[in-house]
Amino acid sequence: MTTSLIAEGTTAHASLAPRHDFPLLAEQPALRYLDSAATSQKPQVVLDALTGFYATANANPHRGAYALSAAATDAYHAARATIARFLGAADPETLVFTRGTTEAMNLVANAWGAAHVQAGDEIVVTALEHHANFIPWQQLAKRTGATFRIVELTADQRIDLDHLASLLSSRTRVVAITHVSNAVGAITPVHEVVRLVRAHTNALLVLDGAQGAPHLPVAFDTLGVDFYAFSGHKMLGPMGIGGVIGTRARWAECQPWQFGGDMIEWVHDQDSTWNVLPYRFEAGTPNAADAVGLAAGVQYLAALDMAAVRAHELALLDYAHARLADVEGLHIFGPPPAERSGVLSFALADVHPHDLATILDEHGVCIRAGHHCAQPLMRRLGVSATARASLYVYTDARDIDALVDALVHARRIFGATS
């Protein structure tokens, strides 16, 4: 089966983006990096944008009345516009920068949740959520006395839409759902979720796009959700930058949640007034350099074309499934590839994921072993951890082949029984 795939020369064998665009991968040709769901590698254009900002435009944005500060401000605004356009938001000022998805979810839970959720209300999340889209809502429910409800999953770890529908009512104030599961890769049917939530509730609908934005085309303006959060470092950008896009109407319902420089209009002795969107929610010196770096990253992705990114990952997933079928005792979690992002979350017979990760590392194969910050999901799978290989634009068939060889070796070491 493997041989025939190679003979046919499927496009799955090449990477979508040249490996030599990524300095770390170019420097380590033997490295098989399969942990992009944790963080992506960075292309040279992103590193150049970062150093370019510091070398040519470094000043505090929005502060100085001098040309250099204006250059920094312009670069920061241009980055916002580029990233908003990439995510399909026509109005760049509805994009608020944060450190990443975690801070974005805490922002929404505090800035909107604290003012609008009270005892008797209900907050709905799913059992697929990353802790970043679970704990902020769990703790908001605890603080306010709201009821915290968890949508259960189908046997192949997709969101059970019937169960979701059964939990929705006029009491539902927030529905917070992942776009793509980080742990098993299941893609949420967003249009179906939006239809259900809008039909049964007036709830705030928040999508965790940390694993969606890097891997799927996203058009915020037609998505129909209220907020969409994302992390830059998973989509070729630097660590420490991400954001959340919201509708103007929902932003208007939010209260500032962090206070300080930049976010104010006027500070009186006993009270203050606030700057406009998006600055109202960006207290302190903005992370302009990383925003500029991320803008370069999304331009790189846009040039690849996000539909092509998805097609590339799907082809590699199919290739991986064909090859992994030869590995006895391997169980892959999650739905079939057509409903899954570029994530292979698996168990190999009775070999513990951490032992797998050590053996694979010896083969130069980097995977994640652990609970993937999704302990509610691990409990439902009845495991403490899974092994996860995840793909991206620079992944090619050699990475998959090395994974398969290493798994066969692991099986031999452990003489595993399936």
CA atoms of 126 and 163, how far apart (whole Å): 10
| Burial class of residue 190, CB neighbours in 10 A (0-12, 13-18, 19+) | buried
CA atoms of 86 and 230, how far apart (whole Å): 12
Per DSSP, the three-state class of 108 is helix
CA atoms of 270 and 292, how far apart (whole Å): 37
User: Which residue number, 12 or 359, has a Cβ lying nearer to other proteins?
Assistant: 359
With CB under 8 A as the contact rule, the residue among 96, 351, 366, 404 that binds other proteins is 351
Q: State yes or no: residue 166 binds other proteins (CB under 8 A).
A: no
Q: State yes or no: residue 382 binds other proteins (CB under 8 A).
A: no
Q: State yes or no: residue 412 binds other proteins (CB under 8 A).
A: no
CB 33 within 8 A of CB 399: yes
CB 332 within 8 A of CB 378: no
CB 207 within 8 A of CB 104: no
Which residue has 């892959």 as its token pair? 332
User: Which residue number, 173 or 372, has a Cβ lying nearer to other proteins?
Assistant: 372
Closest separation between CB of residue 372 and other proteins, Å? 10
For the chain, first and last CA: distance in Å?
22
User: Which residue number, 93 or 405, has a Cβ lying nearer to other proteins?
Assistant: 405
| Amino acid making up residue 151 | V
Q: In this chain, which stretch among 199-207, 242-250, 274-282, 346-354 interacts with other proteins, using CB under 8 A?
A: 346-354
CA atoms of 277 and 334, how far apart (whole Å): 39
Closest separation between CB of residue 84 and other proteins, Å? 36
Closest separation between CB of residue 125 and other proteins, Å? 21
Q: State yes or no: residue 349 binds other proteins (CB under 8 A).
A: no
Q: State yes or no: residue 403 binds other proteins (CB under 8 A).
A: no
Q: State yes or no: residue 39 binds other proteins (CB under 8 A).
A: no
User: Which residue number, 113 or 353, has a Cβ lying nearer to other proteins?
Assistant: 353
Closest separation between CB of residue 394 and other proteins, Å? 25
Which residue has 């380590």 as its token pair? 28
Q: State yes or no: residue 256 binds other proteins (CB under 8 A).
A: no
- Binding to other proteins by CB under 8 A, coded x per residue (else -) over 352-381, reads xxxx--xx--x------xxx------x---
Catalytic machinery residues: 373
What residues line the site for other proteins (CB under 8 A)?
Answer: 351-355, 358-359, 362, 369-371, 378, 384-385, 413-415
